[in-house]
Structure 1
């Protein structure tokens, strides 16, 4: 390796040990990195301009991350919220050069948010997400208020009009999807489900007699019911029959069951192996739990569905940027276009605020306002 790469590696390792003082075998400051590396080979490489890393304080923030996890779980927030808040806390920690948490001030927050907006040019929603994560961290982990963060204005989100597919475009995508992805998309469009709500469906969520699907622990830990489309009833029954065969095979292999949320495993020890708790869309392979060594089954992963949808949209050569959430947008817009009441659509989507549902009024033609035309068409 050229000398500049050796020097860069030396800085990286030294910074790592500086940030983790509790690690055993820390490199003494008296050890010369050049002595460890040995003589540098002859090279004609020109080293790039590498800035010197700032001096580290050695604050690890381990207790703060542990407290953040506990505070999130106490409030029963979703695992995604925990992952997002931990991600922003890591970025904030790196920004302040691992400054001890007790020395953090509103000025640090102001500089971080300003850096996100000016240097990184993040979207308004991303900036607000970072603000909310740090606000939670200050209030519930550090137990002190932000106060006024002077000079930093909460980013205002621009009005967003969702992408909506017509029926021909939806059929074109469905025709290019293989099972079980085509059934997943039919539920997204036919029931207005979010992707994670669809993949979290279990056998007990289906009620064929009443023709409804019960969505448990949706966004905001809320439950709701949506109509089960009659058009997919035969496909859903075929899926259930296939699940019975898979479940019996798993029981023969003496697997530990499916993954259950919270402490249901302790409350109902046999629930994980019962058929009613099985996923509607199970993963292809079993997952090994490192702590216990047992094998459990998870549901189909979101990235697999998203990848299949991207491929189908590309093959259909749509002129719209369609994702898994686009089918939920299409569900709401098509109901509104069919003169369904906006409050009914709000209940079906599981929105807490009617303002969120009102965005779909921009995706359909109004029957009361004269349709705008281009003068070129007069």
Structure 2
């Protein structure tokens, strides 16, 4: 095989028909091999050759180029695993909605694929919301006839409304899910540009301010919630999913199951928090989830946010405090105390060390050794 020669396969939609795009640099050998494929044609728009997308034709391509040139399938085949998280997926309410005049609802095949892939319910809601926004922006067009230009016009409308980069990226994910996953054409819209990811420093409060917030909670339950958010560096969703069995008082650890990215991890359990948790357990008697609402159901995310904000206001903290600010503060205070960055990464459940490194930009000891030129 000549390692210098290669072709890349793409998914194309031409005249409402699925096609296999074959992109390559000018080369007589490859050109002659392409001519021998079943009914090859050339697209000026995509600047590549293409043939009908069938299993047989994919096999012909493999047999034609095997051992002669490198075949790059990265943009053609799907390698993403199905989410194996055991969360109950609920898309029934989307299906039961009453039709709205002059409004296109999300196609059934879109809902079905989200269901089969076992996407998180929050992700399903986001994807459906954005995809319906998109298909109603182009309500007079058949979905299969929509191209990169149409998507750009829609994204431009979001940008003109001063939508954030993350908002626009979520819209792109929802649109690409339909064409690439539902229709089985991965990387079809490979030319769609994404906004640059915003790089913002995490908001952090001092240890003294954290203590003030804890002291200004309304009751024992609220106190335990704030203590765990900060003392274990938990995300709000992780706190809500905690079960009684996840508190390991013998090893002084908290087990976090099915977190972001469907990962399990262990994190620290504060001795101070454990004392209050024991009192809380005796008083409230939760049965399954550590923090329960009415009828033993999982505590609500809105309630946790309200608890943190209200306690911070009573403590007269100027920074707008959320559960995630407490998580950021946990990581930053560990770093300032000399904890290794890799250990902090494990405690937070970050997949990449680059995500954890952001805390070096806000840790006080990063700046303590630098002499201010004014002084």
TM-score, normalised by the number of residues in structure 2: 0.68
1:321, CA displacement in angstroms? 2.1
Q: CA 1:374 to 1:178, structure 2 compared with 1: closer, same or farther past 3 Å? A: farther
Q: Contact 2:179–2:188 at 8 Å: present in 1 too? A: no
Partner of 1:294: none
1:374, CA displacement in angstroms? 5.5
Partner of 1:280: 290
1:176 and 2:216 correspond: yes
Q: Contact 2:105–2:132 at 8 Å: present in 1 too? A: no
5+ long unaligned stretches in structure 1: 1-14, 20-59, 247-274, 287-296
Map Cα deviations across residues 191-246 of structure 1 (whole Å, 9 max, x no partner): 000011011101111122222111111111110011211112221112222354x6
Q: CA 1:229 to 1:136, structure 2 compared with 1: closer, same or farther past 3 Å? A: same
Distance 1:208 1:70 in 2: 42
Considering Cα pairs closer than 8 Å and 6+ residues apart, tell me whether 1 or 2 has the greater RCO. 1
Q: How does 1:45-56 map to 2 (within 5 A)?
A: none
1:304, CA displacement in angstroms? 0.9
Distance 1:88 1:138 in 2: 14
**Which among 197, 203, 212 is matched to residue 157 of structure 1?**
197
Partner of 1:302: 301
Distance 1:120 1:367 in 2: 38
Q: Contact 1:61–1:100 at 8 Å: present in 2 too? A: no
Q: CA 1:213 to 1:181, structure 2 compared with 1: closer, same or farther past 3 Å? A: same
**Which among 111, 121, 128 is matched to residue 79 of structure 1?**
121
Q: Contact 1:189–1:330 at 8 Å: present in 2 too? A: yes
Partner of 2:131: 89
Q: Contact 1:110–1:149 at 8 Å: present in 2 too? A: no
Distance 1:342 1:206 in 2: 24
1:71, CA displacement in angstroms? 2.1
Partner of 2:16: none
Distance 1:207 1:366 in 2: 32
Distance 1:16 1:207 in 2: 51
Partner SS for 2:280:
helix
1:340, CA displacement in angstroms? 0.6
Q: How does 1:184-263 map to 2 (within 5 A)?
A: 184-244=225-285
1:185, CA displacement in angstroms? 1.0
Note the aligned Cα RMSD (angstroms): 2.2
Partner of 1:355: 354
Distance 1:160 1:169 in 2: 22
Q: CA 1:229 to 1:99, structure 2 compared with 1: closer, same or farther past 3 Å? A: same
Decide which structure has greater strand share: 2
1:74, CA displacement in angstroms? 2.7
Q: CA 1:100 to 1:344, structure 2 compared with 1: closer, same or farther past 3 Å? A: same
Q: Contact 1:71–1:141 at 8 Å: present in 2 too? A: yes
Partner of 2:372: 373
Corresponding residue pairs, total: 276
Partner SS for 2:255:
strand
Q: Contact 1:225–1:348 at 8 Å: present in 2 too? A: yes
Q: CA 1:238 to 1:342, structure 2 compared with 1: closer, same or farther past 3 Å? A: same
Partner SS for 2:153:
helix
1:355, CA displacement in angstroms? 0.6
Partner SS for 2:239:
helix
1:143 and 2:143 correspond: no
1:365, CA displacement in angstroms? 3.1
Distance 2:280 2:309 in 1: 23
Partner of 1:318: 317
1:97, CA displacement in angstroms? 2.4
1:102 and 2:186 correspond: no
Q: Contact 1:365–1:371 at 8 Å: present in 2 too? A: no
Q: CA 1:174 to 1:85, structure 2 compared with 1: closer, same or farther past 3 Å? A: same
Partner SS for 1:226:
strand
